[in-house]
């Protein structure tokens, strides 16, 4: 997988088709990767593809003005398409190096299963539907679906919807919608008051660092409504009412563009289950309007479009 | 508790300038009676109604938000109410999931000539909101 990607990256850089390649390289900590920008063709050996390339690199595209190559997984490619739909980037300015995503491993889940810190884990490997964890001379085999991110378990299209080169090799077999949606289903079984109390308690912990917004590939507004001081819609102070209000509005703003990549939840330092908000939003958009974010680059963006015959039932 | 007994719903109405607001005007000029629990805000078009306005209304303590615009196909700006329809439907369903009762977000189509319908809509909305009680969603203790 990696070799194919590196050869293509080298080609693109040498031919001058792209000025730079945005990809992943090995991180400084175990089982991590970090975004990598390559300009020199001799650096392509640094590119990696594995089960830890969890970040959504589409975030960088709205900022980069030159022609770039970008390494994307299924969800990321849909973010790229959303950006094209919203006219934030020009399709001709990106070379999309797609990876048929095998699902990303959540190291926190592995730590819990192994019962030790990631520094003590020697290796995490995958064969077929089984994840093998080696730690302290011991070996533990678990079902793959136990170690994948919830967002990956719930993934609807692991293969990029738009690409110039597709690197495939591993198939996404660990999917399990029941586990991926467990939190949302649990919330839906509650009474409305209980759900509100749940969110209220969650957002008491919010410190308003805006990491969710900063990491979101489709939160590209130069001025966010939350920073508007005239009118000041919501207070910038970390009070739960305003924290929750901010997140509700952010979720509505990304409706139809959010690909449920799960970056907001991963970025949250307070571990607020944000995917249970945006994930449900993506589901609603799909169920009510049969629209899946980022599946067609020529379609108008969701919130700017309408069908003449559409849901009327809530109107008196 | 005592306050709850005396409680009457307060509803904020976001009415489109071209149809619903004129419709509300007609209700008044034709001397139709309707509940006085509605605070009306005039907006240029139902398509202008940002979900933020809806949420802000609830945060300010209004018991419900009524959104009203021109009938589909009759928008002064051709397509504003179609966009509003998609947006408001989605917002209502999403807020319901978050735990804000369905009844707190109300929507209707009222044209400039439907004075009687406007009176009926407001009456229905108030009747719908009364059973769920005062909005304590954003109150600290509630």
Tell how far CA A171 is from the center of its chain: 18
Answer for the pair A298, B91: CB distance below 8 angstroms, yes or no: no
Contacts of residue A3, defined as CB under 8 A and 6 or more positions apart, other chains included, come to: none
Nearest to A311 among B89, B94, B108 (CB): B89
Q: Are B97 and A188 an interchain contact pair (Cβ–Cβ within 8 Å)?
A: yes
Answer for the pair A237, A243: CB distance below 8 angstroms, yes or no: no
Q: Which of A161-175, A261-275, B34-48 has the lowest mean pLDDT?
A: A161-175
Strand order of the β-sheet with B105-109 is B38-43, B11-16, B64-69, B105-109
Structural domains of chain A in order of their starting residue, each with its CATH number: 2-106+148-304 (no CATH), 107-147 (3.10.450)
Positive or negative, the CA dihedral A21, A22, A25, A27 is positive
Residue B142 counted as domain residue: no
Q: Are A310 and B86 an interchain contact pair (Cβ–Cβ within 8 Å)?
A: yes
Residue A198: list chain B partners with CB under 8 A: 99
Look at residues A299, A153, A274 and name the one whose alpha carbon lies nearest to residue A215.
A274
Residue B137 counted as domain residue: no
What is the band of B23 on the pLDDT scale with cuts at 50, 70, 90?
Answer: very high
Distance, in angstroms, between B109 CA and closest chain A CA?
Answer: 6
Q: What is the pLDDT of residue A173?
A: 74
Q: Which residue of A has its CA nearest to B92?
A: A314
Mean pLDDT (chain A) is 91
Strand duo A68-72 + A94-99: pairing: parallel
Q: What is the pLDDT of residue A189?
A: 94
Q: What is the pLDDT of residue B1?
A: 56
- The 8 Å CB, 24+ separation contacts for A182-190 are A182/A150, A183/A150, A183/A273, A183/A275, A183/A276, A184/A276, A184/A279, A184/A280, A184/A283, A187/A276, A187/B97, A188/B97
Distance, in angstroms, between B29 CA and closest chain A CA?
Answer: 22
Look at residues A199, A162, A177 and name the one whose alpha carbon lies nearest to residue A260.
A177
Answer for the pair B105, B64: CB distance below 8 angstroms, yes or no: yes
Q: Are B82 and A306 an interchain contact pair (Cβ–Cβ within 8 Å)?
A: yes
Q: Are B86 and A289 an interchain contact pair (Cβ–Cβ within 8 Å)?
A: yes
Q: ipTM of this predicted complex?
A: 0.93
Cα distances from A18 to residues A65, A82, A148, in angstroms, run 11, 21, 33
Distance, in angstroms, between A214 CA and closest chain B CA?
Answer: 20
Look at residues A275, A277, A283 and name the one whose alpha carbon lies nearest to residue A256.
A283
Average pLDDT of the residues in B101-129: 94
Q: Are B85 and A304 an interchain contact pair (Cβ–Cβ within 8 Å)?
A: no
Q: Which of A59-63, A153-157, A168-172, B75-79 has the lowest mean pLDDT?
A: A168-172
Average pLDDT of the residues in B10-31: 95
Mean pLDDT (chain B) is 92
Residue B46 counted as domain residue: yes
Look at residues A31, A75, A73, A76 and name the one whose alpha carbon lies nearest to residue A52.
A31
Look at residues A288, A230, A224 and name the one whose alpha carbon lies nearest to residue A254.
A224
Could you list the residue range(s) of the whole structural domain that residue B112 is in? 2-132
Q: What is the pLDDT of residue B142?
A: 46
DSSP state of B30: T
Look at residues A310, A306, A295, A286 and name the one whose alpha carbon lies nearest to residue A85.
A295
Residue B62 counted as domain residue: yes
Q: Are B98 and A303 an interchain contact pair (Cβ–Cβ within 8 Å)?
A: no
Share of chain A above pLDDT 90, in %: 72
Q: What is the number of domains present in chain B?
A: 1
How does pLDDT run across A222-251, given as a tens digit for each residue? 999 999 888 899 999 999 999 999 999 999
Residue A281: list chain B partners with CB under 8 A: 94
Residue A235: list chain B partners with CB under 8 A: none
Residue B139 counted as domain residue: no
Rounded to whole angstroms, the Cα distance separating A252 from A282 reads 10
Cα angle B83, B86, B91; round to 5? 120
CB of B88 within 8 Å of any CB in chain A?
yes
3-state SS track over A39-90: CCHHHHHHCCCCCCCCCCHHHHCCCCCCCEEEEECHHHHHHHHHHHHCCCCC
Tell how far CA B93 is from the center of its chain: 15
Look at residues A199, A187, A188 and name the one whose alpha carbon lies nearest to residue A241.
A199
Residue B21 counted as domain residue: yes
Looking at the predicted structure, is the pLDDT value of residue B79 above 80? yes
Strand duo A165-167 + B105-109: pairing: unpaired
Share of chain A above pLDDT 70, in %: 100
Q: Are A289 and B96 an interchain contact pair (Cβ–Cβ within 8 Å)?
A: no
Q: Are A280 and B106 an interchain contact pair (Cβ–Cβ within 8 Å)?
A: no
**Interface mutation vs chain B, best among A306, A307, A311, A313, most B CBs within 10 Å:** A306
CATH number for the domain harbouring residue B77: 3.40.50
Q: Are B51 and A252 an interchain contact pair (Cβ–Cβ within 8 Å)?
A: yes
């Amino acid at each position: 997988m990696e070799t194919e990607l590196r050869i293509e990256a080298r080609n693109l850089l040498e031919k001058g088709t792209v000025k730079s390649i945005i990809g992943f390289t090995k991180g400084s900590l175990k089982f991590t990767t970090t975004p990598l920008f390559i300009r020199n063709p001799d650096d392509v050996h640094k590119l990696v593809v594995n089960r830890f390339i969890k970040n959504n690199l589409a975030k960088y595209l709205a900022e980069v003005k030159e022609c770039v190559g970008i390494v994307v997984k299924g969800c990321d490619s849909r973010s790229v398409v959303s950006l094209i739909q919203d006219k934030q980037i020009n399709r001709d300015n990106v070379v999309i190096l797609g990876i048929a995503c095998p699902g990303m491993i959540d190291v926190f889940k592995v730590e819990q299963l192994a019962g030790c810190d990631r520094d003590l884990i020697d290796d995490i490997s995958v064969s077929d539907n089984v994840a093998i964890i080696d730690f302290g001379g011991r070996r533990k085999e678990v079902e793959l679906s136990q170690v994948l991110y919830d967002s990956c378990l719930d993934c609807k299209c692991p293969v990029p919807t738009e690409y110039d080169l597709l690197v495939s090799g591993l198939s996404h077999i660990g999917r399990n919608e029941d586990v991926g949606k467990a939190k949302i289903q649990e919330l839906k079984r509650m009474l409305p008051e209980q759900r509100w109390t749940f969110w209220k308690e969650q957002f008491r912990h919010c410190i308003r660092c805006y990491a969710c917004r900063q990491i979101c590939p489709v939160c590209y507004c130069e001025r966010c409504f939350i920073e508007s001081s005239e009118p000041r819609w919501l207070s910038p102070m970390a009070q739960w009412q305003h924290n929750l209000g901010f997140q509700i509005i952010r979720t509505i703003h990304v409706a139809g563009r959010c690909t449920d990549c799960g970056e907001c939840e991963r970025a949250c330092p307070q571990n607020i289950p944000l995917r249970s908000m945006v994930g449900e939003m993506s589901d609603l958009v799909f169920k009510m309007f049969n629209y899946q974010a980022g599946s067609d680059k020529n379609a108008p963006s969701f919130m700017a479009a309408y069908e003449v015959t559409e849901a009327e039932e809530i109107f008196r | 508790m005592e306050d709850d007994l005396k409680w009457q719903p307060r509803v904020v109405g976001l009415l489109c300038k071209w149809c619903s607001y004129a419709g509300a005007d007609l209700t008044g000029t034709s001397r139709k009676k309707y509940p006085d629990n509605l605070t009306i805000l005039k907006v240029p078009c139902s398509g202008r109604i940002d979900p933020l306005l809806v949420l802000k209304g609830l945060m300010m303590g209004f018991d419900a938000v009524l959104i009203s615009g021109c009938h589909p196909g009759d928008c002064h700006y051709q397509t504003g109410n179609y966009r509003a329809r998609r947006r408001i439907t989605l917002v209502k369903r999403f807020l319901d999931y978050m735990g804000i009762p369905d009844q707190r977000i109300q929507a209707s189509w009222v044209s400039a000539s439907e004075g009687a319908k406007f009176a009926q809509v407001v009456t229905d909305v108030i009747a719908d909101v009364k059973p769920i009680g005062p909005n304590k969603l954003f109150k600290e203790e509630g």
